[in-house]
Structure 1
Amino acid sequence: MNSKLLARIKVDAYCDKHLFYGLTNLNDGFDDSRIKYFSEKDFEVVLERVKSLGIGIFGIEPWKNGHYYDCKVYESHTSDPTDATWYMTCFENFKKRGDNIVYAASYFIPKKLLSE
């Protein structure tokens, strides 16, 4: 197994265990099955968990009615994906649009947490 695939598997397992527990994945096949999508309410829980664990968000990608809607990445806002200000601000701005969208994200997990 190549190292990139192994790293992806570790990140997915970490997220399932520490971020996504008790939440509903709304990806019904409109995107790659490894990508988890959440309602606004559940995604807010995900972001609060990210913040409390001190991990980070590389990007947020909302979809509407099964179609790509927008994307925000940390590099446009900060040099640090663990800076909660950037992802919380982007999430609040998405919420203000009032559209019925679902949210996915890519996550920064420090290597030391993946080896635990």
Structure 2
Amino acid sequence: MTNERPDLGFGGELDEFDPKAWDSAATKKSVSRPPKEATMQMAEAVGFKSREPKLAATVDRKIDRRRRTGRNAQFNLKARPETIEAFCRIADRKGWGLGETLEEAVLLLERELSGVK
């Protein structure tokens, strides 16, 4: 067995290759890029779907109603969406958290049912 490697057929061309002969300015010449908007329009025209999130003009952020109040019992229930919206609207109007709004609602109902005003 010999230690010679087989000829791949391009060794002679690499022997003559001189990297200094390349002009760095010539390699930097490239086609100018089109504007990003034009690129996006072309991509959408051929059906490309971007994975990048589209930023909304206005971001609707939920109000954080959590406070450290000592309330630690969970109370889950189902309600109609309009009831939940009304409940949250009352809490926002008064500046209360949802637990505080529930306590106030229970107090008002107890007063009404007991006849005390």
Question: Fold conserved (TM > 0.5)?
Answer: no
The alignment's TM-score, normalised by the length of structure 2, stands at 0.22
The structure whose RCO (Cα within 8 Å, separation 6+) is larger is: 1
Structure showing greater radius of gyration is: 2
The alignment's TM-score, normalised by the length of structure 1, stands at 0.22
